[in-house]
Chains A and B, each alone.
Chain A
Amino acid sequence: MEEFLLRFLIGGAVVSAFAVLGDLFKPKSFAGIFGAAPSVALATLVLTVSTEGTSYVATEARSMVAGAVAFFIYASCASWLLVRYTFPSLAATSLLILVWLAAAFGLWVVWLR
């Protein structure tokens, strides 16, 4: 329980810090870079190294490559829907999570499993 609380606090703090950085910059296309910051990865890996060791973290990072490719597909689709078709942001970005899941697990099954 203590470990999860620590994960929650560190994760929340790191994600918020990168989000605040993103708020500060203009133009929006530059600020968007911070939307793909390695915030969850940093919070998770720092804790995981101490509990599970570096080989475990290397395996996680290998899968993260597939997750990052899926994030690229997700963000490209979101940009296209929002700029070209002016979909409501919350609906478009929430529904596209399904695209991220399909791409990430598809890549994992084909390439990493």
Chain B
Amino acid sequence: MKVTVDLSALGKTKWYEYAVRFVFGGIVTVLAGLIAKNFGPGVGGLFLAFPAIFPAGATLIEKHEKQKKEQAGINGTQRGRTAAGLDAAGAAIGTVGLLCFALLVWQLITSYQTWIVLTAATFAWLTVSVLIWHLRK
């Protein structure tokens, strides 16, 4: 299966759907900071891998897929949920990359410059995730 970029997808998302993701992302980032301040970095660190906007994202995918199928005269409920499930399968692959991100930051952040470590760890997240996705397809 070939990976493609569909710019028209941007127009399908309503302004309030963008706003919901922004607000959720902001709230979770504030909460992660508050939890670390009150309970220490050991507990706070768990929330750096919290599925922050996952429910909102999955709901959006289900809704868009359902609308698309219903425009074609097909009941899209099942297809919408399957599409959200496939997205979740991709996220499971992405978590392996996320694990590599965390391991690299843990091991390297005290020895190298922050921007170098965070850039390398983000690159590792993407590379590992894409590689596993290609191996699994």
Contacts and interface: CB of A to CB of B under 8 A. Distances in A.
Chain A interface size band reads: 35 or more
Given A12-B23, A39-B25, A23 B42 contact: no
B25 A90 contact: no
Given A11-B25, A67-B45, A39 B125 contact: no
Interface in B44-92: 44-55, 57-59, 61-62, 77-78, 80-92
Nearest to B137: A29
A56 B82 contact: no
A57 B25 contact: no
Contacts of B125: 37-38
Given A45-B118, A69-B99, A89-B55, 17 more contacts: A15-B52, A26-B3, A26-B6, A32-B87, A35-B88, A36-B51, A36-B91, A38-B98, A59-B41, A60-B45, A63-B44, A72-B96, A75-B92, A86-B77, A88-B62, A93-B55, A93-B88
